[in-house]
Amino acid sequence: MVQITGYKTYQREDGENFHILVLQGGIEAVKSQQTGKTYLTTKMAKVSCTFDEATCESLIGTKLPGAIKRVEVEPYEFTIAETGEVVERSHRYEYISEEEAIVGANVLEKEEVM
């Protein structure tokens, strides 16, 4: 289950505004690679939508079936807002529906047999 925690407004090149919804997954316990201690975190993802700002605002707090999944992508640079540090990442987080999660967990990728 994921929850809509907010929305952001962006501007297209043509000057028109559009909105995206910010989704947050459940709490996860993760072990720090630096300290070895466990901490709690959540995964977040941004999802495009066709809603106006008032609708986006009204959807905050809504829960959706599904999960937020880590997806490997081409490496890109990312600036950590709090510190200004620029890091390279090769993943992003995407929302997947409950149906996609079930199919992904139960369907094997096609293999070539020789």
Q: Containing H/E element for 71?
A: strand 66-79
The mean per-residue pLDDT over the stretch 12-36 comes to 91
How far is residue 114's CA from residue 110's CA, in Å, rounded to a whole number?
Answer: 13
Given a cut of 80, whether residue 108 has pLDDT beyond it is no
Given a cut of 90, whether residue 83 has pLDDT beyond it is no
With beta carbons less than 8 A apart as the criterion, state whether 65 and 96 touch. no
Sequence ranges of the domains in the chain: 2-106
pLDDT of amino acid 79: 87
How far is residue 40's CA from residue 29's CA, in Å, rounded to a whole number?
Answer: 5
CB-based contacts of 15: which residues, under 8 Å, 6+ apart? none
pLDDT of amino acid 60: 97
Count of positions (residues) in the chain:
114
Given a cut of 70, whether residue 111 has pLDDT beyond it is no
Predicted model pTM:
0.76
